Structure 1
């Protein structure tokens, strides 16, 4: 064996890429450049997650074959050059704008932190917006530019001047020169109104806030830019003269003092555990921020330590972005089927190759109705983009038309109910939704109604889920919901779900009967919800029960009187009255009444209406209440539980990690209570 000496290289020579490998690299690089250009200068064809996957494949290939990591590789580049057809002048940034490297797991984050020890770090939300560069000389805004390729961007100064968050003149003792980096975005809460205005003007709706913000910055007329309601957050520094902060946090404090908006969500931390806690917290609360976000950025705080780590050709080594599971991905649309809901509405849904999105694996997504299927232009066999935001049901956004190979086929909406065979039709002329008119006996509708009435907003029958409801119908134990409270152990012996292998009622069956016994004496508003009257949800049911306190009186009340109930109105009142004109609907009420179900609200059992006329917002984590329990505590005392803060809000209850809602309340002068104050408010109606 040869002994190593000073001339021996212990590192094995890197593999030379074969023509096949170079061909694969060329194909990937070309595809990435195409999609990167669309992301910055046009309309993206694929979700961010798919782009990240392509980029990672190229990184992996270059790790195996370092000779491929040439200077013009997409892995060495930042952003994308401006379009040749752009009407904006090209300008050079004083200091190069960079991108961020990503990690996708806690293990990768821990590895990065181990390689990047620091005295302290900052955690910041990764704003899903458009990066821009602002130059201030002696406090005055001199120029604004897009990021472009990191060196050359487009001059958008005139457009930046109409963004309210961007000051024309910095406050206080501003430095001789400072280059501010930040993100332009549209708040999700502003986006629906923006789309409504666009549709009313005869235009097509915008695809998403990020693309709308990017397009807004490139409007030729600054007045059109202003209409988009663009916002700005500063998150970095470029060149500066007369300003030498020691830390990133100090820089942010200075920016805020100058009148520049900085993120309210930034935190200074010192340990790995603190960083992991922030990562996990914002994964649970990613929709609580005032802007869209897709990750958490971790930065070394001390600027001297940042300089020590330096940067690659495209990203600083002292910062990393933890990317959360994607909310938009692509997958194959295997089939389009239809489901029948509790009101008879027939809804197309997509059956897809299972795909991981927003923290879970999904294989089905809604398509709303046949009109939407046609509008979105999806075909069976398409590669489709799906979105799942938070706990929202996954939705198909549209096809990736470039991936079609001619084998795709059109979806044909059925003419007969897939559950009972009844002919489908719109309930009334002009309805986009088609319905099964066999409302009483259609098994799909009945099982959906049973599942709904057993939910937490209805009778709260924990032992009656979708599987149990289907079993009770399939076995003939129930023919409609009027028989629900007549269930006995003897009747349940015909069930498959609620019996043992020997035919005796199992624990789930006994629990079902116990749940039903408790449900007989529930609140009147829950009984109203359980009737599955179209348009009559928990809020309207509460309002009607609070005013009339008797279902017989509600049934006899004129529609005009019902409509005058706060929070009800004409549509709900008409729907309520119409429901009781159907004979078998009245039979349900009579059967439940005979079984001892609440028909009159006993005032003695009602909580004192201490919050009547008050609107309360609960935000953050409370020790004594989960979100549903806090909402129930407010509603049961006559208050309104709102999810958003406005000048009309009476109180905001702020728990741990309350975030932007608490900040907005303080800005508006809305009283903010802690949990002890909330308990006092519930008891007395006063802060």
Structure 2
């Protein structure tokens, strides 16, 4: 192909891919299949490789991430990115309203309310419609240039629909599904998990290697204009509409409120609806809507007088840290855990809290005997927030991580690039116990009655040394164990026997192959169908499977090359454990193209009678649909089971198509 022909085709491909990407990542309304998009992208990559002189820095191909950076440059913001004052209750909101009215000489303001996304504040700068720079908030005046990482977020357009010069502010975040997938991968790799999506998003965007950020599936909502010359925009809600018209992504849940009573109603509604969102929020941002009134109100030294952030309450309690335990995981990572005087947090009794690693203990200056503030991170995981230094008596004791494994006394090592200390002795009793516990867990072989206590007993008595030994247990052996009666033993043996019929993905996840989480195990099982076919797969074959990356492919190859693994698989096979995938087959390309779910956003609500929620979700996703947790104007279809509540009511209010479970099963029967 001649150069002028290549340039013409490259321009055409970029225009198509930008349009398709906007519909998929910004509007959530795909207009082509993933396969067609990928085919066009591959054609563009190929043409750019042949004609590197035609590559531009706003080509869709930059989304995969460029070369690693040595450091982040500092960036001066055109307009300072100030923080907001906080409100914690209705009284605070009414006080804010009174201050606003006083500043406006008792004029009645209207307000714009938006969800406060729990992520990383960023600024995007466009010149003549082209994305030229992205930066973190930093100290408000100076941030870090993270342009290359932000380019990997596919909802950020590299070129706007108009050739305007402007700066926009927003919040980069990690959706809940991306966060769960990332932590599954970290757990499978024996790495420390992120505490919450906010930390995961911030950590991803501050990676010096943009390719890492590209794999994290981040997203972004824009919430304000930093600077622009446009006299037609007179209110904040007009500014949001303008941002959206340019092709930028805004949050669709914002609301224009006529008075503070409507603001309070909006806030209260999201306290209840918050868990249904596919991303984390930690409050509501309230802004005076009219821009002239914002100018009149002005700023304090730290924050605008015309805006405030209502923060959802996060319960924090004070207790005493009475000790630090060390836990050796199945991959050898040694994790410190705070032992606390029992305290009630968010409705449950908390006795232990994760301290993650030695660096965190030093950073927070934690000592044994300290009075500490504890909360549940993300309302789930107990964590130590900080130490109350003013309550120290001088009797507190420093904590130092050991140099030897607390289980087998092997020397602990810190692998390059890792924070955690790790025991690398494959015969470490703790790793064997944890591996057995993982094998019997719910997402793996799911053996009822085999919890940590029983596993510890079996191991201590020498009855099990690897997972194959579980299938050799005898009734008389189990009856000798403490608190194991005849009925319990019979139930346990029946549960073990039943797992021999499990589908292959359960076994694959249970084996604990590094980097292979539950979802990857399902993908591998569906693709190869037998463990023999998977064992024979080479690196290139594995890497060609959707969602199987380089690290995972290498790990799988290395795992199945080990002599002891080959012996274990053969032994499990001889013991009658299924080595075959038994779930639904991958739909053909023709099935996907004819699917009623292709490109559709679907919500499941209510209790399904004939399918589990996961089974229904898998069917829809396999046939090209996208599952979300809340009903909005962007929802195409709602599938309802028994006792469907507010989501059904909202779907009916918005005129969205509603199917019963029976209708769903009928549509997917073929």
Check whether TM > 0.5: yes
Q: Does 1:436 align with 2:439?
A: no
The residue that corresponds to 2:615 in the other structure is 632
| 1:87-236 mapped onto 2 (5 Å cutoff) | 100=90, 131=93, 147=95, 150-151=98-99, 178-180=108-110, 185-188=115-118, 190-191=119-120, 197-198=136-137, 201=144
Q: Alpha carbons of 1:291 and 1:514: their partners in 2 closer, same or farther (altered >3 Å)? A: closer
Q: Does 1:549 align with 2:529?
A: yes
Greater Rg over alpha carbons, structure: 1
Q: 1:660 to 1:636 in 2, by over 3 A?
A: closer
Is 1:621 aligned to 2:621, yes or no? no
Pairing 1:253-402 to 2, within 5 Å after superposition: 263=266, 266=269, 282=272, 287-288=275-276, 292=281, 326-389=314-377, 392-402=380-390
* Correspondence for 1:419 among 403, 407, 419: 407
Unpaired runs of 5+ in structure 1? 1-86, 89-96, 102-129, 133-146, 158-175, 210-218, 239-247, 253-259, 268-278, 296-322, 501-505
Cα distance in structure 1, aligned partners of 2:370 and 2:652: 46
Report the CA distance between 1:382 and its aligned residue: 2.8
The CA distance in 1 between the partners of 2:145 and 2:525, in whole Å, is: 43
Q: Distance in 2 between matches of 1:591 and 1:533?
A: 18
| In the alignment, structure 1 residue 408 sits paired with structure 2 residue 390 | no
Out of 475, 483, 494, which is 1:514 matched to?
Answer: 494
Q: TM-score, normalised by structure 2?
A: 0.55
Specify whether residues 488 and 660 from structure 1 end up closer, same or farther in structure 2 by C-alpha distance, changes over 3 A only: same
Map of 1:121 onto structure 2: none
How big is the alpha-carbon RMSD for the aligned residues of Structure 1 and Structure 2?
5.1
Question: What is the Cα deviation at residue 679 of structure 1?
Answer: 3.1
Could you tell me how far apart the structure 2 residues matched to 1:574 and 1:651 are?
Answer: 40
What does residue 503 of structure 1 align with? none
C-alpha distance 647-457 of structure 1, shift in aligned 2 (>3 A): farther
CA distance in structure 2 between the aligned counterparts of 1:643 and 1:512, rounded to whole angstroms? 38
Aligned equivalent of 1:458: 444
Does residue 1:487 correspond to 2:467, yes or no? Answer: no
- C-alpha displacement at 1:461, in angstroms? 0.9
For residues 640 and 267 of structure 2, what CA distance do their matches in structure 1 show? 15
Q: Which residue of 1 aligns with 2:11?
A: none
Instruction: Give how far 1:662 is off.
Output: 9.6
Query: Is residue 619–residue 662 contact of structure 1 (8 Å, CA) maintained in 2?
Result: no
- 1:680 is aligned to 2:666: yes
Query: Pick from 442, 445, 466: which aligns with 2:431?
Result: 445
- The Cα of 1:648 is off from its aligned counterpart by 10
Alignment partners' CA distance in 1, 2:107 and 2:280: 29
- Secondary structure of the residue that 1:580 maps to in structure 2? helix
What is aligned with 1:528? 508
Is the 8 Å Cα contact of residues 452 and 530 (structure 1) preserved in structure 2?
yes
Contact 1:459 1:522 in 2 (8 A): yes
The superposition leaves residues 323-377 of structure 1 with CA deviations (integer Å, 9 ceiling, x where unpaired) of: 9995433322222222111222111111112121122111111122222323333
Q: Deviation per CA, 1:402-434, whole angstroms, max 9, x where unpaired?
A: 4444443332112222222222113x3121122
TM-score, normalised relative to structure 1? 0.54
How far did residue 585 of structure 1 move? 2.5
* Helix, strand or coil at the partner of 2:266: coil
1:591-644 CA-to-partner distances (Å, cap 9, x unmatched) read 111111111336xx7468498686875444324279xx2113432684577556
- Distance in 2 (CA, whole Å) between partners of 1:339 and 1:154 is 58
Q: How many residues align?
A: 449
The alpha-carbon distance between structure 1 residues 197 and 448, as it changes in their structure 2 partners (threshold 3 A), is: farther
1:28 corresponds to which residue? Answer: none
Aligned equivalents of 1:153 and 1:356: distance in 2? 41
Distance in 2 between residues matched to 1:448 and 1:408, nearest whole Å: 32
- 547-556 or 488-497, which deviates more: 488-497
SS at match of 2:275: coil
Change in 2 beyond 3 A, CA 1:99/1:408: same
For residues 105-140 of structure 1, the C-alpha deviation after alignment (integer angstroms, 9 at most, x for no partner) is xxxxxxxxxxxxxxxxxxxxxxxxx848xxxxxxxx
Task: Give deviations 1:467-508, integer Å, cap 9, x for gaps.
Answer: 11111111111012121212221332443243x3xxxxx222
Higher RCO (CA 8 Å, separation ≥ 6 residues): 2
Task: Find the residue that maps to 1:346 and give its secondary structure.
Answer: strand
Residue by residue over 1:24-76, the C-alpha shift from the partner in whole angstroms, topping out at 9 and shown as x without a partner, is: xxxxxxxxxxxxxxxxxxxxxxxxxxxxxxxxxxxxxxxxxxxxxxxxxxxxx
CA separation in 2, counterparts of 1:220 and 1:539? Answer: 39
1:572 aligns with 2:552: yes
CA contact (8 A) 1:333 1:352 kept: yes
CA contact (8 A) 1:349 1:364 kept: yes
How far residue 450 of structure 1 moved from its aligned partner, in angstroms, is 2.0
SS where residue 454 of structure 2 aligns?
A: helix
Whole-Å separation in 2 of the counterparts to 1:398 and 1:578: 42
Distance 2:584 2:558 in 1: 29
In the TM superposition, residue 389 of structure 1 has moved relative to its aligned partner by 4.9
Q: CA distance change for structure 1 residues 346 and 475 in 2, over 3 Å: closer, same or farther? A: same
CA distance in 1, matches of 2:120, 2:629: 15
Q: How far apart in 2 are the matches of 1:649 and 1:571? A: 36
The alignment status of 1:594 with 2:574, answered yes or no, reads yes
* Equivalent residues of 2:376, 2:383 under 8 A apart: yes
| Paired position in structure 1 for 2:542 | 562
Conserved 8 A contact 2:604-2:629: no
CA distance in 1, matches of 2:667, 2:330: 38
